[in-house]
Structures are given as structure tokens and as C-alpha cells.
């Protein structure tokens, strides 16, 4: 999320006093306004939620095979190297 992009929509939210105070304290520590802190935090949380929306349906044998592949060290290869050196679209 670029900080130079024009923000053209409004998001309104109501909170309890203690919630706002905690948010303000955290924002101050990071040198951000309340709005900056809340927008960046909620944007990151939304990104995390969407990235975790993967569902795998495997029979028990395929699931065990999948787990074995996850536990094994990765084999060096060019596509993996490119992937690990590539920035995510939101960075």
C-alpha cells in the first residue's frame, strides 16, 4: 500500500474508549497517526486472512505424501530461487 496514493474513500468505525487509547498508544510508538496505524494494521490483517484461504482436500494417503513433501528440505531449482527473490505484489 503506497503512502503517496490518493485516498478517496472514507471508513468510519466506532470504538470503546479503552480500545482507542490502546490504538493511540501503539500508533504513537510507531510515529504514526491513529488513522495511518489503523489502516495499515487492518490492511495487513486483511492480506493475511486472504492469503490463508487455501483448502486442500486429500485422501489419507495423499495427505501423508503431502506432509512428507512439506517436511523434506526443498531441492534447489531455478523457479524456487526466482520465487524466493521476488517481491510480493503488495510490497
Res. 7: pLDDT tops 70: yes
pLDDT category of residue 3 using cuts at 50, 70 and 90: low
Q: Write down the domain spans for the chain.
A: 17-84
How wide is the angle at C-alpha 90 spanned by C-alphas 43 and 3, nearest 5°? 70
> Residues with Cβ < 8 Å from 33, sequence gap 6 or more?
27
Mean pLDDT of the region 60-80: 91
What's phi and psi for 65, nearest 5 deg?
-65, -40
First to last CA, the chain: 7
Amino acid at each position: 500500500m503506497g503512502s503517496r496514493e490518493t485516498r478517496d474513500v472514507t471508513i468510519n468505525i466506532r470504538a470503546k474508549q479503552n480500545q482507542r487509547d490502546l490504538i493511540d498508544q501503539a500508533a504513537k510508538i510507531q510515529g504514526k497517526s491513529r488513522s495511518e496505524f489503523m489502516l495499515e494494521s487492518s490492511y495487513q490483517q486483511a492480506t493475511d486472512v486472504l492469503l490463508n484461504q487455501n483448502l486442500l482436500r486429500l485422501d489419507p494417503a495423499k495427505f501423508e505424501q503431502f506432509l512428507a513433501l512439506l517436511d523434506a528440505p526443498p531441492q534447489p531449482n531455478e523457479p524456487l530461487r526466482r520465487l524466493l527473490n521476488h517481491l510480493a505484489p503488495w510490497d
